[in-house]
Chain A
Amino acid sequence: MKYLCLVYLERGKLRSVPDRECAACGDGFRKDGVLLAAEALQPVDTAATVRVRNGKVSVVDGPFAETKEQLAGFYLLDAANLDAAIEAAAKIPPAREGSIEVRAVRELDV
Chain B
Amino acid sequence: MEAPEDVRKKVDALYVAESRRVLATLIRLLGDFDAAEEALQDAFRAALEQWPREGVPANPRAWLVSTGRFKAIDGLRRRARFDALEDAGVNADVAVIDSDAWADREAVEDDRLRLIFTCCHPALAPDAQVALTLREVCGLTTEEIARAFLTPPPTLAQRIVRAKAKIRDARIPYQVPQGPELPDRLDAVLRVIYLVFNEGYAASSGASLMRNDLSAEAIRLGRLLVDLLPEPEAIGLLALMLLHESRRASRTSESGELVLLEDQDRSRWDQAQIDEGRRLVERALRTRRFGPYTIQAAISAVHADARTASETDWNEIVELYDLLWRSDPSPVIELNRAVAVAMRDGPGAGLALIDAILDRGDLLEYRLAHAARADLCRRLGRSDEARQSYARALSLTRQEPERRFLERRLAEVS
B97 to chain A, nearest CB (A): 29
How far is it, in angstroms, between the C-alpha of A104 and the C-alpha of B165 when the chains are bound?
A: 12
A109 to chain B, nearest CB (A): 12
How far is it, in angstroms, between the C-alpha of A83 and the C-alpha of B167 when the chains are bound?
A: 11
Residues of A with C-beta under 8 A to B181: 83, 87
Which residues of A (20-42) have their CB < 8 Å from a CB of B?
A: none
Q: Pick the contact of B172 from A81, A87, A103, A106 — CB < 8 Å? A: A81
B8 to chain A, nearest CB (A): 41
Q: Pick the contact of B177 from A1, A80, A83, A106 — CB < 8 Å? A: A83
* Residue count of chain A within 8 Å CB distance of chain B: 11
Q: Indicate if the CB atoms of B169 and A81 lie closer than 8 Å.
A: no
Residues of B with C-beta under 8 A to A1: 171
Which residues of A (35-91) have their CB < 8 Å from a CB of B?
A: 80-84, 86-87
B338 to chain A, nearest CB (A): 36
Among the interface residues B123, B170, B172, B181, which one has the most CB atoms of the partner chain A within 10 A?
B170
B331 on the A face (CB < 8 A) = no
How far is it, in angstroms, between the C-alpha of A68 and the C-alpha of B170 when the chains are bound?
A: 26
Residues of B with C-beta under 8 A to A87: 181
B175 on the A face (CB < 8 A) = yes
Interface string of B105-128 (1 = CB under 8 A from A): 000000000000000010100000
Q: Indicate if the CB atoms of A80 and B169 lie closer than 8 Å.
A: no
Which residues of B (108-151) have their CB < 8 Å from a CB of A?
A: 121, 123
Q: Pick the contact of A80 from B121, B123, B170, B173 — CB < 8 Å? A: B173
How far is it, in angstroms, between the C-alpha of A3 and the C-alpha of B356 when the chains are bound?
A: 49
Interface string of B144-182 (1 = CB under 8 A from A): 000000000000000000000000011111010100010
A95 to chain B, nearest CB (A): 15
Q: Indicate if the CB atoms of B169 and A106 lie closer than 8 Å.
A: yes
How far is it, in angstroms, between the C-alpha of A103 and the C-alpha of B171 when the chains are bound?
A: 10
How far is it, in angstroms, between the C-alpha of A107 and the C-alpha of B181 when the chains are bound?
A: 29
B163 to chain A, nearest CB (A): 13
Residues of B with C-beta under 8 A to A82: 121, 123, 170-173
B164 to chain A, nearest CB (A): 14
Residues of A with C-beta under 8 A to B173: 80-84
Residues of B with C-beta under 8 A to A86: 123
A82 to chain B, nearest CB (A): 5
How far is it, in angstroms, between the C-alpha of A106 and the C-alpha of B170 when the chains are bound?
A: 9
How far is it, in angstroms, between the C-alpha of A1 and the C-alpha of B169 when the chains are bound?
A: 10
A64 to chain B, nearest CB (A): 24
Among the interface residues B121, B171, B173, B181, which one has the most CB atoms of the partner chain A within 10 A?
B171
Residues of B with C-beta under 8 A to A106: 169
Residues of A with C-beta under 8 A to B121: 82
Residues of B with C-beta under 8 A to A80: 173
How far is it, in angstroms, between the C-alpha of A1 and the C-alpha of B89 when the chains are bound?
A: 13
B27 to chain A, nearest CB (A): 14
Q: 15 pairs across A/B with beta carbons < 8 Å?
A: A82-B123, A82-B172, A82-B173, A83-B172, A83-B173, A83-B175, A83-B177, A83-B181, A84-B173, A86-B123, A87-B181, A104-B169, A104-B170, A104-B171, A106-B169
| A-B residue pairs, 5 tightest by C-beta | A81-B173, A104-B170, A81-B171, A82-B172, A82-B170
Instruction: Knowing that A82-B121, A82-B170, A104-B169 touch, tell me 20 more A-B residue pairs with CB under 8 angstroms.
Output: A1-B171, A80-B173, A81-B171, A81-B172, A81-B173, A82-B123, A82-B171, A82-B172, A82-B173, A83-B172, A83-B173, A83-B175, A83-B177, A83-B181, A86-B123, A87-B181, A103-B170, A104-B170, A104-B171, A106-B169
Chain A residues engaging chain B, CB cutoff 8 angstroms: 1, 80-84, 86-87, 103-104, 106
